[in-house]
Structure 1
Amino acid sequence: MTDFPNGASCAELGDLPWRKSRYSNPNGNCVELAPLPGGGVAMRNSRHPEGPALVYRAADLRLFAHAVKAGEFDDLLGD
C-alpha cells in the first residue's frame, strides 16, 4: 500500500473516485470512501471534501465492517 499519513489532506491523496452509501441522506452529512493505490481505503466527511481523510488498510476496514454487521457496537447507538 502506498504510505499515506492518517489525516492526509484530500489534495495529498489526489483525484480519487469518492463514493457514499446509497443509504446516505440528501443533507450532505455522509461518510465517503475511496480506494487508494496499493489497496488502502480513504475515508472523509462529505461536508468537508477538501479536509482531511482517514487512511486505512483494506484488511482493517474489512474487520471493522464485519464487527459492525455482527452488532459489536450496537450498545453505542443508544435506543
Structure 2
Amino acid sequence: MNDTPSIDGDPPPLIWRKSRASNASGDCVEIASLPDGGVAVRDSKNPQGPHLRFSASEWGAFIGGAKAGEFDSPSM
C-alpha cells in the first residue's frame, strides 16, 4: 500500500482486494491493508458503503479462529 499522503494532506486511498477464491456472482468481502498494520473489510457489492476496521491483533485472532474452524456451521 502506498503510504504517501496526497497533496492536500488526506491519507492515500485504500487498495481493496478480493480473495482468489471469490465466485463470479460478486458476493464477496474485500479487504485493504491499513497504514497502522490493521485491516479494513467491506462488502464488494457496496464499495461506497461503510467498512469495518480491525487492528492487526484483532485480524490475526479472526484469521486464526477461521483456520481452526471456530466459525464453521454446526453439523446437522
TM-score range for the pair, normalised by the shorter chain length: 0.7 to 0.9
Structure 2 residues not aligned, in runs of 5+: 1-10
Residue matched to 1:20: 18
CA distance, structure 1, for counterparts of residue 52 and residue 14 of structure 2: 14
When residues 22 and 68 of structure 1 are mapped into structure 2, their CA distance, relative to the original with a 3 A threshold, is same
Of the three residues 33, 54, 63, the one matched with 2:61 is: 63
Residue matched to 1:45: 43
TM-score normalized by the length of structure 1: 0.74
* Greater share of strand: 1
Structure 1 residues not aligned, in runs of 5+: 1-12
RMSD between aligned residues: 2.1
For the pair shown, which has the larger CA radius of gyration, 1 or 2? 2
Which aligned segments of 4 or more residues in structure 1 are displaced greater than 4 angstroms? Answer: none
TM-score normalized by the length of structure 2: 0.76
How far is 1:37 from its partner?
1.4
Percent identity between matched residues is 50
Task: Kindly provide the amino acid, as one letter, of the partner of residue 23 in structure 2.
Answer: N
Q: Count the aligned residue pairs.
A: 67
Deviations 1:20-72 (A, max 9, x none): 11000011110000011111110000000000000000111111111111111
